[in-house]
Amino acid sequence: MSATTATARLTTRDIQNLKRRGEKIAMLTAYDYVTAGLLDQAGIEMILVGDSLGNVVLGHETTLPVTLEDMIRHAGAVHRGTRRALIVVDMPFGTASDPETALRNAVAIMQRTGCQAVKIEGGATVAPTVARLTEQGIPVVGHIGLTPQAVHQLGGYYRHGKTAPAAQKLIDAALALQDAGAFAIVLEMVVPELAGEITRLLDIPTIGIGSGPECSGQVLVVNDLIGLNVDRTPSFAKPKADVASVIRRAVGEYVAEVKAAEPAKAKGRALADG
Ligand SMILES: Nc1nc(=O)c2c([nH]1)NC[C@@H]1CN(c3ccc(C(=O)N[C@@H](CCC(=O)O)C(=O)O)cc3)CN21
Ligand SMILES: CC(C)C(=O)C(=O)O
Ligand SMILES: [Mg+2]
């Protein structure tokens, strides 16, 4: 694409403007070319190449085994499949452990995928890393509340911000991330009232998942939206389709059709003695 080609792709400023106008932001994950293209055609504003690919694509128990190379390969496919959506790439476990490591890895993501932003899990302690990336021109999305990369420390997938000290810590984290330059923050499984309070406190948009309706936008794992799962899904996922059934039925019909096919008739002279 030439430098003068007008691109229809949304920018972080467009996302900021959606919040200012009070228009909700619709975000979904995608991990491949075809799915990303369909989401783009359907008008999704942001696509997250989530490290949830470790669960829903690669079949791991957690997101921890996902590597930078995994993310870069899938993010490239998602970017190639889309024209309009702003693409955010998760920095996988261990790749944003300090500001310089994060910068090196985020630069690799930006240079090798064409995507527009990265997302980093963590609270106030991640703020210096967010500041380092944003001062280098890399847009960053924060991610607080349930942070799945810390599952072994958290001891499970549960709601966050239930006590007053926990709520205050999340508020402080959100403000620290905003001050550090994050252009949006994902709130995952945050008590809905608190998610609303954080959303009203911030200038930048909040993107909720399992955090109630008062966030500036919503994000969901695309498999949970379309009913394409073999494993248990989070309770906040309310599927709008049953693609798993569509696939099972089509495959079942194919299997039956293959099995029922007549053997090819022998042509010309009969074979001697079978
Ligand atoms: N398919 C899928 N959807 C997701 O939203 C998702 C992933 N995978 N993988 C990465 C992370 C992990 N996430 C999760 C995983 C499990 C729960 C979950 O089971 N929550 C329970 C409550 C469990 C508890 O209270 O201990 C729930 O019922 O929602 C929630 C979010 C969100 N992400
Ligand atoms: C659940 C969303 C926010 C995420 O981080 C992912 O899909 O990896
Ligand atoms: Mg993630």
CATH number of the domain enclosing 175? 3.20.20.60
Q: What local confidence, expressed as pLDDT, does residue 6 receive?
A: 54
Listed residues: CB within 5 A of ion ligand 3: 50-51, 90
Range of the domain at 234: 12-242
Tokens linked to 86: 């702003």
Binding residue positions:
51-52, 90, 119, 121
pLDDT range class, residue 231, cuts 50, 70, 90: confident
Average pLDDT value over all residues in the chain: 95
How many other C-beta atoms can be found within 10 angstroms of the C-beta atom of residue 103?
A: 17
Distance CA 186, CA 117 (A): 13
In the chain, the number of structural domains is 1
* Spatial separation of the C-alpha atoms in residues 193 and 215, rounded to whole Å: 10
Q: DSSP strand E in the chain: where?
A: 25-29, 46-49, 86-90, 117-121, 140-145, 184-188, 206-209, 217-220
pLDDT bin (cut points 50, 70, 90) of residue 48 is: very high
The whole-number pLDDT of residue 102 equals 98
64 occurs within a structural domain: yes
Residue 267 lies in a domain: no
Distance CA 127, CA 86 (A): 23
Closest CA to 52 of 243, 192, 174, 228: 228
Token readout for 81 is 């499949």
Does some domain include residue 269? no
The torsion region of residue 273 among left (phi > 0), alpha (psi -120 to 50) and beta comes to left
Each residue's pLDDT tens digit, 126-155: 999 999 999 999 999 999 999 999 999 999
Would residue 271 count as lying in a domain? no
Confidence check: pLDDT of 1 > 70: no
264 in a domain, yes or no? no
Q: What is the pTM of this model?
A: 0.94
Are the C-beta atoms of residues 130 and 99 closer than 8 Å to each other?
no
Determine the residue of 29, 35, 93, 147 to mutate for testing ligand 2's pocket, defined as the one with the most ligand atoms within 8 A of the Cβ atom: 29
In this prediction, residue 271 carries a pLDDT of 57
Residue 250 lies in a domain: no
Q: Looking at per-residue confidence, does 266 or 212 come out higher?
A: 212
Residue 113 domain-assigned? yes
| Residue 138 falls inside a structural domain | yes
Closest atom, ligand 2, to C-alpha of 29: 7
Residue 252 CA, ligand 3 centroid: distance in Å:
34
Model confidence band, residue 274 (pLDDT cutoffs 50, 70, 90): very low
- What pLDDT band is residue 202 in, cutting at 50, 70 and 90? very high
Give the pLDDT mean for 26-47.
98
Mean pLDDT of 250-274: 80
Tokens, residue 53: 């690919």
Residues flagged as binding site for Mg(2+): 51, 90, 121
Instruction: Please state the rounded mean pLDDT for residues 25-46.
Output: 98
List the one residue out of 97, 98, 92 whose CA is nearest residue 119. Answer: 92
